[in-house]
Amino acid sequence: MSPLPMTVAVGCVALSLGALLTEPLRRFALRYGVTDRPNGRKGHARPTPYLGGIAVAVVTLAAGAATAFAGGFGSPGLAVLLGGAAVMAVLGLIDDLRPLGPAVRLGVEATAATAVVLVGGHPTLLGGPLDAVIAVLWIVFTTNAFNLLDNMDGASSSVGAVIGVFLCWQAWWIGQAGLGLVLVALSGACLGFLLHNWHPARIFLGDSGSLFIGFTVACAAVLLHKDAAGLAAPAGLLAATLVVTVDTALVMLSRYREARPLLQGGLDHASHRLRRMGLTVRQTALAIGTFAAVGGLSGVLLAHGVLPSGGLLLAATVLGLATVALLLRVPSAAVPAPSVAAAGGVELSVGRQMARQTAGGAPDLRKEPSRIGESGMAG
């Protein structure tokens, strides 16, 4: 069977299963109270269940198991990747039910990433053991960057679907068919879940889903570039995950400039700033997904030899920095607005104004759930 029909078939099955499995998980979460409850610092108006990420993880891992069973597509690196991704889903589920400390989460993530790098390989950057350390750190960073991106309806799942498609394209191109099938299953499962997560969301990914997607995408990118050397590796990795890198850089720089704790959550992500620029929640998700598609397509063109690695690395860096600079000009929720006279002489900050607007049915700027770096925002 040729790659295209097989890819389409696996993607369609994964989409269907992802959509079907999400609904019973939603009902289960509602029944047992596994929900993100609204408060004055959250935009959604009613308790919304987590656990949607379990559907994405189950479908993706099932595709990996089926691939291994069918034979001919398996590899040690892929097997360890799937094992580590399963650990991420469990880790995230535990954190959804009972928040874990950053040290525990980082320790588990680093251990799983190390296993993937040692077994599956890594790009050559400096030509020594430090290359493996860099690869592990990059996987951990990207995993948590995806976790932070899950802050608005449809954002993380749409980006995961888009990046998965382009990484699948690269996998088939270089002959890693097994990895390609896992990636298209991930994309299909994300799209199936997105049917429930599209604004207004009826269920959220939760840490189980965002950590799973981030880890799978990050490790897949490393395995796809394990034979790369020089500028090809950083160019390809940055292009594939440009959107999450930009978002994380934006919030860290913003919080540093505003003298706020770097690990305290807030409504200062790229998605929230796009909302303040006038985009709707759905338009914001589409804009972020389009940005991810630009990076993904650039990575594919690099793999095909159409784009030079040095030129792509420079272009991605300039685009990322320009995007961060542009969005930094949009005030974050932490920056006080000019005083607005309220009844009784009370002055309202931007955050309170937004909260009142949200309560009145204005933009949904829901606060991201408890996660590493954002656990201080848990409600």
Residue 35, H or E segment: strand 35-36
311-248-233 Cα angle (round to 5): 35
Half-sphere exposure of 32 (CA within 13 A, CB side): 10
d(CA 360, CA 141): 37
At 134, list the tokens: 């860099």
Q: What distance lies between CA 86 and its chain's CA centroid? A: 16
- Contacts of residue 117, Cβ cutoff 8 Å, sequence gap at least 6: 132, 135, 136, 139, 222
Is 147 annotated among the ligand-binding residues? yes
Which of 183, 153, 173, 174 minimizes the C-alpha distance to 52? 153
Q: Which residue has the tokens 């542009």?
A: 326
Output DSSP code: residue 111: H
Please report, for residues 80, 101, 159, 266, 335, the alpha-carbon distance to residue 262 in angstroms, rounded to integers and kept in the order given.
32, 16, 24, 10, 15
d(CA 102, CA 371): 8
Instruction: Check: CB of residue 63 under 8 Å from CB of residue 34.
Output: no
Q: Are 52 and 209 in contact (CB under 8 A)?
A: yes
Which residues are annotated as part of the binding site?
A: 147, 207
Annotated binding-site residues for Mg(2+) read 147, 207
